[in-house]
């Protein structure tokens, strides 16, 4: 717990994405599931390119959940190799376009070559300020919350902010703001253990679009949907969301 991070400078929305539907996209075309994941990587590249111009400052993508280890070994190997290659090929582009890349989740179970690619990508892109891109690999929100709780001294009374900072340390990443908008593709409507703490007041957008088909128009629709919502954070319509000072006086 000695590590401290500089606050990221990227302002803007925090958007989280559960990228679902690669397998169904491939099966519908008579292709192996791996082909869907490869197309999914192209969709990631497109989204990262278009995100900064749409007001997104932080983008967290769910690439591999800790429960995905239950998939057949071949698919898992394929995915981990794809992540490694993607990091290796995209790092230079991230540097040029001002994207800071971090991987959140456990590092101790990933292959050494992937861990090395993660470290290299994170170091090379550390100065990026246009977009904070976080890719979740071997990630479980419940496990992250448990690990953060286990770091607390017995008599600690953490605040929401200090616990959120602890979570970011457990996630091996600089602090990120709470999620504003969570998008899930593929038609399912569940959170699947993704950013449970950070999504406390996230607006949820579910789309039947399969992830490899997700494009700029889909992102624009999701953002328009988000901007049409009234976010009240538990307060009454039209009132300021920050109740902290009032809560302290009661
Ligand atoms: C869920 O679709 C998707 C995954 C488990 C993998 C996500 C990976 C990518 C989008 C590939 C590229 C990512 C990066 C960061 C380079 P699924 O396979 O469960 O689809 P299904 O529900 O149709 O079977």
For residue 9, what pLDDT is reported?
A: 43
What's the mean pLDDT when you consider all of the chain?
A: 92
- Structure-model confidence comparison of residues 5 and 14, the more confident one: 14
| Low-confidence winner among 20-24, 31-35, 215-219, 233-237 (lowest mean pLDDT) | 233-237
**Backbone angles phi and psi of 133, in degrees to 5:** -100, 125
Q: Is the pLDDT score of 84 beyond 50?
A: yes
How far from the centroid of its chain's Cα atoms is residue 151's Cα? 23
Question: Does the annotation count 68 as an active-site position?
Answer: yes
Task: Specify if 250 maps to a domain.
Answer: no
Ligand 1 atom 6, closest CA: 63
Query: Which residue in 223, 219, 228, 175 sits closest to 197, CA to CA?
Result: 175
What is the C-alpha to C-alpha distance for residues 160 and 150, in angstroms, rounded to an integer?
16
Q: What is the pTM of this model?
A: 0.92
Which atom of ligand 1 lies nearest, measured to the CA of 86?
16
Q: Which residues line ligand 1 (CB under 6 A)?
A: 19-24, 37, 40-41, 44, 61, 63, 68, 79, 82-83, 86, 135, 186, 211
Task: Specify if 89 maps to a domain.
Answer: yes
What is the C-alpha to C-alpha distance for residues 79 and 76, in angstroms, rounded to an integer?
5
Q: Is the pLDDT score of 81 beyond 70?
A: yes
Which atom of ligand 1 lies nearest, measured to the CA of 24?
23
Count of structural domains, the chain:
1
Read off the pLDDT band of 170 (50, 70, 90). very high
Boundaries of domain holding 66 = 13-229
To test the pocket of ligand 1, the residue of 31, 63, 117, 137 to mutate (highest count of ligand atoms within 8 Å of its CB) is 63
Are the C-beta atoms of residues 200 and 141 closer than 8 Å to each other? Answer: no
Per DSSP, the three-state class of 63 is strand
How far from the centroid of its chain's Cα atoms is residue 38's Cα? 19
Task: Specify if 2 maps to a domain.
Answer: no
Task: Kindly report the length of the chain.
Answer: 250
* CA 38–ligand 1 middle distance (angstroms): 9
Task: Specify if 249 maps to a domain.
Answer: no
Helices (H), the chain: 22-27, 33-50, 73-97, 112-124, 141-151, 160-170, 216-227, 244-249
Read off the pLDDT band of 6 (50, 70, 90). very low
Ligand 1 atom 10, closest CA: 40
* CA 135–ligand 1 middle distance (angstroms): 12
Task: Specify if 54 maps to a domain.
Answer: yes
Task: Specify if 170 maps to a domain.
Answer: yes
What is the C-alpha to C-alpha distance for residues 144 and 122, in angstroms, rounded to an integer?
20
User: What is the CATH classification number for the domain harbouring 223?
Assistant: 3.40.1180.10
Residue with tokens 């009454």: 236
For residue 237, what pLDDT is reported?
A: 84
Task: Specify if 3 maps to a domain.
Answer: no
Residue with tokens 């791996």: 34
Which atom of ligand 1 lies nearest, measured to the CA of 36?
18
What is the C-alpha to C-alpha distance for residues 200 and 175, in angstroms, rounded to an integer?
16
């Amino acid at each position: 717990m000695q590590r401290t991070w500089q606050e990221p400078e990227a302002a803007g929305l925090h958007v989280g994405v559960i990228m679902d539907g690669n397998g169904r996209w491939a099966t519908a075309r008579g292709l192996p599931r791996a082909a869907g994941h490869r197309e999914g990587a192209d969709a990631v590249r497109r989204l990262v390119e278009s995100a900064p111009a749409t007001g997104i400052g932080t983008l967290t993508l769910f690439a591999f959940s800790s429960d995905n280890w239950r998939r057949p070994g071949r698919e898992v190997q394929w995915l981990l190799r794809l992540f490694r290659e993607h990091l290796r090929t995209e790092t230079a582009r991230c540097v040029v376009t001002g994207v800071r890349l971090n991987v959140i989740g456990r590092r101790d179970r990933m292959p050494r070559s992937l861990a090395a690619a993660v470290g290299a990508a994170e170091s090379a892109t550390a100065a990026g300020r246009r977009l904070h891109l976080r890719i979740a690999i071997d990630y479980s929100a419940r496990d992250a919350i448990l690990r953060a709780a286990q770091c607390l001294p017995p008599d600690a009374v953490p605040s929401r902010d200090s616990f959120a900072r602890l979570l970011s340390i457990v996630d091996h990443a600089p602090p990120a703001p709470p999620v504003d908008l969570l998008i899930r593709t593929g038609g399912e409507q569940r959170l699947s253990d993704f950013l449970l703490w950070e999504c406390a007041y996230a607006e949820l957008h579910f789309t039947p679009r399969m992830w490899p088909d997700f494009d700029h128009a889909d992102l624009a629709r999701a953002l328009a949907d988000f901007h049409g919502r009234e976010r009240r954070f538990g307060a009454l319509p039209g009132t300021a969301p920050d109740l902290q000072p009032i809560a302290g006086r009661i």
